[in-house]
Amino acid sequence: MPPLESFLSPGLRYGLEHGSLTCWIICGVLALLSITSWAVILSKRMLITRVHKANLSFLREFRESNHPLELFQKREHHEFAAFYHIYHAACREMAWHLLGEDEPGDTFAARLQGAGRVTPSQMSVVQNAMERSVAEAALRLEARMGWAALALSAAPLLGLLGTVWGLLDAFSTMSGADASLAALAPGVTTALVTTVLGLLVAVPSMLGYNGLVNRIRGMIVRLDNFASELSTALDRAFVDHRFSTEPLPSMNSLGTPTMPTFGGIGGGSLQGLAVRA
């Protein structure tokens, strides 16, 4: 296997050979940022892939079930399916309003057969539970993404800091008798190394971060779509829309409106007012 130095350009290799302590410190921080960023990106990609497969498996079982609470009644558990956690939160609220219990017991199926329906206001509580579960799933998907964003934004700035610092050191060591390009070249080359390494950290991190953000956004949209589908299924099966709010009183029930008079009818009253004025 060829050595690592063979993959580096001559200028980069020359700069690393003459690197100062500041240069090596900044290079170490950049390496740490790169490792952290890619650890987050790769772990998140693996997690999203696993969640997506688990979601597809759960969605297939949900759509093949006889009624919306069948999987809840069977107590099936899908740990990595975000759809399952949304479904379980909604079913717990629905079971509480239907039967007064939030976990399926031994008589759950028999009691469900004789249960009535819930009101639209109770269904809104179930929808609130689904919305909270979707928000929690989105937070779990976006957790630790700040570390990748930190590497993306901080790497170019650290590289620029190392370059400016290195140029200041290079110019400060020059004397009048030794002010030549040969004396200046090592310091300038070393200073530019940090900028190159900062860009090498930032550009791949940007590509991986943007791709991961797009996948997370797509996953959150699918979570919202499943919550909407589940809400529709529960609404059709268990909500009684015949309940209506109390009607507003009619105008006849309010009685005949009375208007103030001025002690007379017609022009006489107006004349009396004019005389008194």
Q: Are 86 and 137 in contact (CB under 8 A)?
A: yes
**What is residue 27's predicted lDDT score, i.e. its pLDDT?**
86
Q: Where are the domains of the chain?
A: 7-171+181-238
**Which pair of tokens denotes residue 222?**
């699918």
Q: Is the dihedral of CA 162, 165, 169, 170 positive or negative?
A: positive
- State pLDDT tens for residues 34-77: 999 999 999 999 999 999 999 999 999 999 988 888 888 888 78
**What is residue 24's predicted lDDT score, i.e. its pLDDT?**
85
How far apart (Å, rounded) are the C-alpha atoms in residues 76 and 91?
Answer: 13
Q: Are 130 and 86 in contact (CB under 8 A)?
A: yes
**What is residue 275's predicted lDDT score, i.e. its pLDDT?**
41
Q: How many CA atoms lie within 13 A of 183 on its CB side?
A: 11
Q: How many CA atoms lie within 13 A of 68 on its CB side?
A: 22
- State pLDDT tens for residues 204-242: 999 999 999 999 999 999 999 999 999 999 998 888 877
**What is residue 180's predicted lDDT score, i.e. its pLDDT?**
63
pLDDT by 10s per residue, the chain, length 277: 444 455 456 656 666 666 677 888 888 899 999 999 999 999 999 999 999 999 999 999 999 988 888 888 888 788 889 999 999 999 999 988 888 877 777 777 778 777 778 888 889 999 999 999 999 999 999 998 988 898 889 999 998 988 888 888 777 766 554 556 666 666 777 778 888 888 989 999 999 999 999 999 999 999 999 999 999 999 988 888 774 555 544 445 444 545 455 454 444 444 443 444 4
Q: What is the 3-state secondary structure (H, E, C) of the chain?
A: CCCHHHHCCHHHHHHHHCCCHHHHHHHHHHHHHHHHHHHHHHHHHHHHHHHHHHHHHHHHHHHHCCCCCHHHHHCCCCCCCHHHHHHHHHHHHHHHHHHCCCCCCCCHHHHHHHCCCECHHHHHHHHHHHHHHHHHHHHHHHCCHHHHHHHHHHHHHHHHHHHHHHHHHHHHCCCCCCCCHHHHHHHHHHHHHHHHHHHHHHHHHHHHHHHHHHHHHHHHHHHHHHHHHHHHHHHHHHECCCCCCCCCCCCHHHCCCCCCCCCCCCHHHHHHHHHHC
**What is residue 262's predicted lDDT score, i.e. its pLDDT?**
47
**What is residue 196's predicted lDDT score, i.e. its pLDDT?**
87
Q: Are 143 and 7 in contact (CB under 8 A)?
A: no
**What is residue 248's predicted lDDT score, i.e. its pLDDT?**
44
**Which pair of tokens denotes residue 235?**
């609404």
Q: pLDDT over 70 for what percent of the chain?
A: 75
